[in-house]
Structure 1
Amino acid sequence: MDLYRKYFNEQQLHLLSAQTPSWGVDMLTIGHNLHPAKKAYPDHNHPNQYCFDWSEGRTLNEFQLVYIANGQGVFESQTIPPTLVEGGTAFLLYPGVWHRFKPSYETGWEEFWVGFQGHYAEYLMRQECFSPEKSLISIGFRSELLNVFTRLIDTLKYEGTAYRQIATCQVIQLLGLVYTSALMSDTSRNRREQIVHQVRYRIQGIWAQPIDFEKLAEENNVSYVWLRKAFKEVMGVAPGQYHLNLKIDKAIQMLGETSLSVSEIAYQTGFESLFYFSRIFRKKTALSPSEYRAKRPVINLEKT
């Protein structure tokens, strides 16, 4: 699918309102973007009213639905702590509610979005399963949602007969799909996954340091026993093992991309000794660090 973005200014909205009646959902922006890895976000194509600096975040005057189709990143708002989001996640942005989000620098992401306002939009967003406290919704890879986004973009791109009314119906259909996903989801499961992704984000931020997982659990108002079980159910490994795999991944990257010695890499990745680093590295990759650097094979650690 081609990349596309469209933003309506006040003059355009005024002309549209004069030409066709509002159905209670006025679209303000629509887009599909594939943001590549290792690029700053947002890109320069965002207009001033939508662009933001990560250190400051942003507050909008409209509702937005954002769907992450691929990749991963982080989302944070005044009601939700920093949380890792992955492909298949939607988030709802509310007028006057501070937020910020960005893709991972290593992966980038593919995003679809639509911004809207209007009296019927207000009514829809007051439904029980929609609130700033429940902004993150696990949608999964639903072809139906992507198909509606695609049709919506085509409707705006070609501006055929009654395109404004058709676009309104398609936005309502999108919200209906998200509403259904929110209703069908298990609240306790969503809460569990949110905590796990918050902990993942925290681990990724301090991966080179020793981590007190009991303290990390306490910061999220759960016990370590609960956190370990939930983390393993969601991620397939315990948090300590996830941390160890992450450190080995970083070491592999350093072996392939830097001229640092093996002992320097062991120190920078937070291992207590060169011997321990070499032992764990061999256990994970079947090679010593020096052998790996010489051969540089492609090794997948996700199932290790």
Structure 2
Amino acid sequence: MDVRALRYAVTLSRTLHFGRAAQAHFIAAQPFGRRIQALEREIGTPLFARTSRRVTLTPAGEHFLPRAATVLAQLDALVEQVEGPPHDSTLLRIGVLGFGLADLWPTVRALVEARCPSLDLVSVELDWENQYDALRSGEVDVALVHDVGGADDLVLDRALQLDRFAVVPAGSELADAERLTFADVADHRWVAPVGPQPGLADWGAAGDGRGRVAVRSPSGVPTAVATSGRLGLHAEPARRYFPHPGVRYVPLEGPKAGIAVASRPADRREAVAVFRAAARAAATADRNLIGP
């Protein structure tokens, strides 16, 4: 969810005037209004009732916007816990495995930019084989990794816990299932992630294990499934970040996938601390906004 749009909506809920609310954020009224509309579409209901004379909150707005204000305050407080003045370095190299932080990216970027306005975030693509080693070697400053163990020498903060999905060939008898169990897939062959982490074998260990096809990065799973006819395993955001006409994503029972922010224990630079704090804050805000 776009943290800027949330800030715009909270300001509008207080001013009940599009022009004044837009001015408070140094943005023109038309793009301000478009961001409010996009937020309402994402939520699935209007937050504001507009007439030619006034703006009022809808019942949904009265329920949602105080909650959004609380979450925004928590976001700011969590990031401000990083000690010291705003950071003035220019570069932070972020190793990204697969979709990384998925839908949290806009919020994390906004929080980092607010704290470190001169900092450039540079993405470095990782695969399962080097997701930890790129950090250990200094190729990247912080890494977004599939947390499958084997990184006791690094500092890992679990940012996301994601439902697992089977990646199924579009022509398979499993493609139209609403949900799959291990019994449903027990006799099927699988593609498997390749990497030195001990937990990868457990993550990919489904079915009978015969003749697995190896893949080295999350983005390669759908193509491997489509071309081999085997099944694959992925986390929920892959449905949107790695679409493929030859596969279907079907919920599968089992432990969730963990996405973590990793850094070196001795690296105490403020840019690293700010990024870690922003990821924690964004994950907390996301849980609070979508929770009951």
Fold shared, TM-score > 0.5 on shorter chain? no
TM-score (norm 2): 0.28
TM-score (norm 1): 0.28
The structure whose Rg is larger is 1
Larger helix fraction of residues: 1
